[in-house]
Amino acid sequence: MNASIVEHLRRAGRLDRMFVDGEWVVPDTQARSAIVDPSTEEPVAEIALGSAKDVATAVAAARRAFAAWPASSAETRALLLDRIHSLILERAELFAQAISLEMGAAIGFARSTQVPSAAAHIRVARDNARGYAFVTHRGDMAIVREAIGVCGLITPWNWPLYQITAKVGPALAAGCTVVLKPSELSPLSALLFAEVMHDAGTPPGVFNLVNGNGPEVGAALAEHPDVDMISITGSTRAGVLVAQAAAPTVKRVAQELGGKSPNLILPDADLARAVPPGVAAGFRNVGQSCSAPTRMIVPRARLDEVERIALEAAGGIVVGDPRSQQTTHGPVANRAQFHRVQEMIGVGIAEGARLICGGLGRPEALSRGFYCRPTIFTAVHSRMQIAQEEIFGPVLAIIPYDSVDEAVEIANDTVYGLGAHVQGTDLGAARAAAARIRSGQVHINYPAWNPHAPFGGYKRSGNGREYGTEGLEEYLETKAILGFRDAPAPSNG
């Protein structure tokens, strides 16, 4: 199936083109980028890369389309999103196979999580288009929430379809037009998504896709004077560069960036229920999630028990060929990330953290591919690099504490504030701890994922929110129209 996906895109000419103004067009340059299968380290295809000139062409198309799209009814926009949602579900297996090939997700995880969660963002955007009050009244005023304009969307390689839909869905629901720059490392699902947008009947120029790298295409989007907003998901370093490029044109910049999320296990927690899901959450998507709870903060008096349960939980992980049904975790997504994970495991060892499973190198019997050993460090303290830096791989740090006050202090002791978890039997105590954590989301006792829950960061994890109503509002401007309703004439009195 993987080979057929590449062949489908090749035969259709998608690998050599970008999608602009409703058509598949040849980019301005001959630059190309290899797509590497992370399970074999072998190139499987090449895509054409765009340039600053291609960005200008796409932005011009989006600007022309903006003359009509925000004037369409909310129901018109909802109907388009409904068609997009249906097509994603119809083509779910194609998307899952593409994601597994381009970034190494285990096929079961791609099918059960990557694709359905992406579709959910479109569904929520559709429902918000229908239910949101774009005009409200306050006395004689009308408060109008209207589309901000042309939006440049920059998405990462770790959740390639999910992050596209989290941005495109609410942008279109708000009445914005968009230019998407997906990661050049995982572009296959983005090309399939552009086919969906075409087949759903998206008006020309409302959605545009330009493949390319950050320094050229991303920077050109950020600095373009006709782009009204940039939304980026990526590293904190990338977010800073985009914000700097956007600053001269004073455009809105929404950033969903790095994280080093805590999982605070309170003294009264049932460890059998708290620890195994914590290990699973930290290693979800092979640890390549900005909100992964990779710091497990546990009572020192119960450290031995935590270690035993965590080790047992890690033993159930099956690392291997992402196309195998038995595999739970495939490789990390690319060579650079593999080296980053290996480097940070080495740092943890050098810092004196105690390794209870995993470590350097590939798992046994895997001689090639960007496979990492699921690794758990314990006896970690908050000043260690592995407790401070985002590793973005299957590496969990267990940090002991002596009091709940100290635990909350440890939870907040990073430059990040994207996600957090709290586990405890006493719900009041868990709520109190959650209230003290400086983070855009806090999960108490592993609730189900909710696509309506706003998601975003404090501190260097970014600004703005995605998902749900708050995600829609990022793409809206607020206009106050005074005297909208008849009011008494002013008194001369």
Tell me the catalytic residues: 256, 290
Using CB atoms within 10 A of its CB, is residue 366 exposed (0-12), middle (13-18) or buried (19+)?
middle
Show the tokens assigned to 490. 């002013």
The answer to whether residues 357 and 345 touch, using CB atoms and an 8 Å cutoff, is no
Question: What's the CA gap between 118 and 238, in Å, rounded?
Answer: 23
Structure tokens at 391: 């590793």
Distance in angstroms (rounded) separating the CA atoms of residues 75 and 405: 50
Residue 323: how many CA atoms within 13 Å on its side-chain side? 11
- 3-class secondary structure for 74-112? HHHHHHHHHHHHHHHHHCHHHHHHHHHHHHCCCHHHHHH
HSE at residue 259, side-chain half, CA atoms within 13 A, is: 35
The full DSSP string for 10-26 is HHTTGGG-EEETTEEE-
What is the DSSP pairing of strand 416-417 with strand 354-359?
unpaired
Task: Please list the alpha-helical segments (H only) found in 234-366.
Answer: 236-246, 271-283, 303-314, 335-351
DSSP per position, 222-253: HH-TT--EEEEES-HHHHHHHHHHHGGGT-EE
Report how far apart, in Å, the C-alpha atoms of 386 and of each of 99, 383, 477 are: 28, 8, 40
CA 186 to chain centre: 13
The structure tokens listed for 95 are: 């998307």
Residues 6+ apart with CB under 8 A from 491: none
What is the Cα–Cα distance from 300 to 320, expressed in whole angstroms? 34
Q: How far apart are the first and last CA of the chain?
A: 81
> If DSSP codes are grouped into helix, strand and coil, which group holds residue 143?
strand
